[in-house]
Amino acid sequence: ILSMSERKVFGSHMADKAVTIEASEDCDGKAGIFLVNFANGQLLPSVKNKPKFTLYRKKNDQTKRRRIMVAETDQLSYVGTNYDAESTTAGANTCKYYIGALDKQSSTMSLHRAELISLRPCIPGLTHTDLAAEGASPSKADYRTNFEQLVTSFGSEKAKRVHAAHERNKVESSALEGALATAVTHVQTEVEKAGVSQPQQNSGLIPAHNPAAEVPQDVYNLHDVVSLEEIRILKKTGKVFTKATVDDIASWRADERYPEYVLQHLSSLPTREPHRSLRAALLLYASFLIEMHRMNPRLFEKRGPKFVGEEPPPGVKDQLLMKFAERKGAEESHQRSYVLSSRMKDKILSHLFVLVLIIDDFVVDCATLQQDLKLTTSKVMDHFRALGCSVTKSAVKRKAGDDGIPLPSSCTANLKIPLSFPKLKKGPRKQRN
C-alpha cells in the first residue's frame, strides 16, 4: 500500500519513463495478496500495538480459496474471512481488485490479485486457533439444539417436562400452510354456496361510506342496504302501498299492521313514477327491518321470524335472514335455526337508519322512529352519530299522548358534509373504592 508521498514520486517517475505491466501467477484465480481493514477503526501506530497476522486455510474447502485471517495485538485479537458476508467488504463480490508492485530500476510493474477482508474484534478468551477450527460463530439453531441437549441430560424434572411439552406442540411450517389453505378453501366454498360475495360477507355492522363524498347523497350507497334484486321484488309487493287510500291507512293504523313511521310517509308518496314505486319499496323494506328488530330473540330462535304486517317475499326474506341473523346448527343438519343476537340487532339499526336518511333527504326527526323501535333517545343518538350524523336533542317538551302518558324526548339527525364521527375517549379509568 502506497502512502501519499510515495504516490507523488510514483507519478513523477511514470511521467518520465514507460512502465511495462506484467501479470503474476496469482492473477488467474489463485490466492493473492490480502488487504485488511479493522472494523472498529484504524489502529494507532506503535511498536507494542503492531499486529501479528496469521492466515488459515479452511478444511474440506471445495473451492480451495476460503481463508481465515487472524490479527493479534497485546490488547485484543481480530478475525475475518474472505467468504463471510459480515467480514467481506461491500462490493467485493461484484468486482475484482488488483495491486501493482513497481520495480523502479526496470520500470516493470507486476499485478497481483488482491482480496479485501474486514477484521472484527474477537471475544476475549477465544483464541484464533479455535476460530480457525470452527470457521464461524454458532447459529441460533445450533444454540437451541445444544441447550435442549443440556436440558435433556442435566435438567430438572420440571425443565424436562416443559421441554417434552414443547416438543409435542411443535408444528411444522408445511403442515401449518396446508391447514390454512384448507381453511381458506372451505370458507370460499361456503360463501359461494350462500350466494354472497366476499366483501359483503366480511362487511361490518355499518354499511360502507365514502369519506371523500362532497354531498350527503354520495356518502352511502342505497344498494349497499337494499340490493337491486330486492328492490325489483319489493316494487311488485309494494303495490299495496302505491294503491293505498286514506281509509286503508287509517285501518292499518288501528290494527297496528305497519309501523307508524311507514304509515306517516304513505300519505306523502311521490305522485310520479318511478319515484312512487321506489319510495313504496323502500318503506316496505323499512317496515321489515323495524319488525325484525322488535322480535323476541327466544321466539325468533324457536319459531323463526313472524311478521305482523306484510310477509316478506321469499327472495327478500332469505336475504334478511342471511344478513341480519346468525345460523345455528351443523351444515349437514336439516334442523338448522337462526339466532337474532344483540349484535345483529345493532346491524339492523345501522342499515335502517341509513335507509331512513335516504328516504327523509338526510334530515330525520327521530320521534316516530323511536316509538316504533321502543328505544331510548341516547341509543338512537349513538347509532346516528356512528353513521357520521350531527345529532341535536329536542329542547321542546313533547305533549302527552292519547293515553295521557308523556312522550319521551327525541332528537334530530342530520347527515351533512363534513361527516362528524364520534371520537374515542382516552383517559385513566376511575378507581373503585
Q: Residue 319's pLDDT is what?
A: 85
SS3 29: coil
Q: Residue 274's pLDDT is what?
A: 85
Rounded to an integer, what is the distance from CA 99 to the centroid of its chain? 54
41 falls in which pLDDT band (50, 70, 90)? confident
Please write the tens of the pLDDT for every residue from 143-168: 777 788 888 888 888 888 888 888 77
Per-state percent for the chain, helix, strand, coil, to nearest 5? 45, 15, 40
**CA distances in angstroms from 213 to 22, 219, 358, 390, 418, listed in the order given:** 76, 5, 15, 16, 9
Q: Are strands 363-365 and 390-393 parallel, antiparallel or unpaired?
A: unpaired
Average the pLDDT over each of 71-75, 248-252, 412-416 and give the range with the smallest value. Answer: 71-75
Question: Directed axis angle between helix 342-359 and helix 275-294, to 10°?
Answer: 160
Distance CA 217, CA 228 (A): 18
Residue 179 in grid coordinates: 391447514
Mean pLDDT computed over 162-184: 69
pLDDT exceeds cutoff 60 at 385: yes
Cis peptide upstream of residue 274 (ω within 30 degrees of 0): yes
Q: Residue 301's pLDDT is what?
A: 79
pLDDT exceeds cutoff 60 at 307: yes
Distance CA 340, CA 321 (A): 9
CB of 73 within 8 A of CB of 64?
Answer: no
Check the CA dihedral 38-41-45-49 and report its sign: negative
Distance CA 310, CA 280 (A): 13
Which of 138, 137, 136, 142 has the alpha carbon at shortest distance from 56?
A: 136
Please write the tens of the pLDDT for every residue from 343-357: 888 999 999 999 999
Average the pLDDT over each of 48-57, 90-99, 160-169, 267-276 and give the range with the smallest value. Answer: 90-99
Q: Residue 351's pLDDT is what?
A: 92
SS3 250: helix
Please write the tens of the pLDDT for every residue from 399-431: 545 445 555 577 888 888 888 787 765 555 555
85 falls in which pLDDT band (50, 70, 90)? low
pTM: 0.50
Mean pLDDT computed over 1-29: 54
**CA distances in angstroms from 40 to 119, 121, 137, listed in the order given:** 8, 7, 19
Identity at 157, one-letter amino acid code: E
196 falls in which pLDDT band (50, 70, 90)? very low
Residue 20 in grid coordinates: 511495462
pLDDT exceeds cutoff 50 at 3: no
Residue 57 in grid coordinates: 486455510
Residue 213 in grid coordinates: 363524498
The whole-chain average pLDDT of the chain stands at 75
